[in-house]
Amino acid sequence: MIKIILVDDHAIIRDGIRSLLREEENFQVVGEAGDGQQLLELLEQTAVDVVVLDLNMPNMDGFRTLAELQTLHPKVRVLVLSMLDHERYVAQALAAGATGYALKNSGRNELLYAIMAVASGEPFLCTAIGMNLLNRLQKTNDSAANEPSKVESNLSKRELEVLSLIAEGLTNAEIADKLFTSRRTIETHRQNIIEKTQAKNTAALIKFAVSSGLLSE
Taking only the tens place, the pLDDT of each residue in 192-209 is 888 887 777 777 777 777
Q: Which domains does the chain have, with CATH numbers?
A: 2-127 (3.40.50.2300), 143-211 (1.10.10.10)
Q: By the 8 A CB rule, do 22 and 45 touch?
A: no
Taking only the tens place, the pLDDT of each residue in 102-112 is 999 999 999 99
User: How much is the pLDDT for 94?
Assistant: 92
Tell me the average pLDDT of the chain.
Answer: 86
pLDDT class of 144 with cuts at 50, 70, 90: very low
Taking only the tens place, the pLDDT of each residue in 67-115 is 999 999 999 999 999 999 888 899 999 999 999 999 999 999 999 999 9
Q: What is the mean pLDDT of residues 18-41?
A: 94
Judge whether residue 149 has pLDDT over 90: no
Q: By the 8 A CB rule, do 100 and 129 touch?
A: no
Q: Which stretches of 24-61 are DSSP H helices?
A: 36-43
Q: Which amino acid is at 202?
A: T
d(CA 27, CA 18): 10
Whole-prediction pTM value? 0.65
User: How much is the pLDDT for 137?
Assistant: 67
User: How much is the pLDDT for 213?
Assistant: 66
User: 39: burial class by Cβ within 10 Å (0-12, 13-18, 19+)?
Assistant: buried
- DSSP single-letter state for residue 146: G
User: How much is the pLDDT for 215?
Assistant: 61
Which segments of the chain are extended strands (E)? 2-7, 27-33, 50-53, 77-82, 100-103, 124-125
Please indicate whether residue 135 or residue 34 has the higher confidence score (pLDDT): 34
Taking only the tens place, the pLDDT of each residue in 123-132 is 999 988 888 7
